[in-house]
Structure 1
Amino acid sequence: MKIAVIDGQGGGIGKSLIEKIIKSDLRNLDIIALGTNALATAGMIKAGARTGATGENAIIVNAGKVDVIMGPIAIVIPNSIMGEITQGISLSIGNSDAMKILIPLNRCNVEIPGTTAYTVGELIDFAIEELGKIQKNSSQ
């Protein structure tokens, strides 16, 4: 199963996702780091992604080639992450047939009720559990 982890700025959420995926018992996953900038991509590759690419075009091209897209919810909101998420990026992710597992962070002027009781680490753990369910269902 091909997974794209998409993040911007320093790639902290993406890095944490990749580290937890690798530590999980999930196998046969091809993790691709897609950063809006080189720092984000490098951090995610360092965390264990097999390969990575940087920038709008890399994200647009690869969003349609993966089975699952993971990252903060901001990746589907144009102009979020301090302007790093372009309309092209958010549109390509939204239009992708890939399953999206998004971390519901209450930033970018978006409030997601029910998420304030969880830490970022707990939200990432929930995302990894969801990835496991998707992988199990796709192999049946």
Structure 2
Amino acid sequence: MVIMVVDGQGGGIGKAIIEKLIPVVGSEHQVVAVGTNSIATSAMLKAGATNIATGENAVKYNAERADIIIGSLGIISANSMFGELSPQMANAISESEAMKVLIPLKRCGLYVVGVNTESLPKMIDEAVETVKDCISGLKHSHHKHYH
């Protein structure tokens, strides 16, 4: 299974996700870290990602191949991350058939009501647990989509 982690800016959220995700998902699953810039990609590499890529084309290419995409809510919003996440990147992620696991941060002009305001580390833990559950569900359903 291919799990794509997307982040921009300094890559701190992607780094934290990868640090918690890699021990949970196991070596049979491929974790691909895709940064909107090289600093974000580098942070995710330092966190232990072995498959990395940077930029708009990397986001588009990997979104087509991912089974699960994980990142902040801004990864589906054009021009988020102070313009780093292009409309083409947001579109590629949104249109991907992958299951999206999104962390609802109160940034990028997006606010999701009805979501508990947990700390970022708790939200990352929950996102990683969701990916783990998705992997388990995908294994048992024998097809790509987890609904």
TM-score, normalization: structure 1? 0.95
| 1:74 and 2:54 are equivalent in the alignment | no
Equivalent residue letter for 1:64: E
State how 1:8-87 maps to structure 2 within 5 Å: 8-24=8-24, 26-27=25-26, 28-87=28-87
TM (norm. structure 2) is 0.90
Supply the AA of the counterpart residue of 2:64: G
Q: Given residue 47 of structure 1, which amino acid in structure 2 is its aligned partner? A: A
- Unpaired runs of 5+ residues, structure 1, are none
Runs of 4+ in structure 1 deviating by more than 6 angstroms, as ranges, are none
Q: Cα distance, 1:117 vs. partner?
A: 2.6
* Structure 2 residues not aligned, in runs of 5+: 141-147
Task: Compute the displacement of 1:51 (Å).
Answer: 1.3
- The 8 Å contact of residues 20 and 125 in structure 2, kept in 1 or not, is answered as yes
Cα deviation for residue 116 of structure 1 reads 5.1
CA displacement, residues 28-84 of structure 1 (integer Å, 9 cap, x when unaligned): 221111000000001101101121111101111110011110111101000110000
| CA displacement, residues 71-124 of structure 1 (integer Å, 9 cap, x when unaligned) | 111010001100001110000000101110011101111111233530001110
Change (3 A) 1:121 1:114: farther
Residues 53-132 of structure 1 aligned to structure 2 (within 5 Å): 53-115=53-115, 117-132=117-132
C-alpha RMSD of the superposition: 1.1
Deviation at 1:138, TM superposition (A): 1.3
Q: What residue identity is the alignment partner of 1:99?
A: M
Work out the percentage of aligned pairs sharing the same amino acid.
Answer: 42
CA distance, structure 2, for counterparts of residue 110 and residue 137 of structure 1: 29
- The count of aligned residue pairs is 139
Aligned residue for 1:82, secondary structure, equals: coil
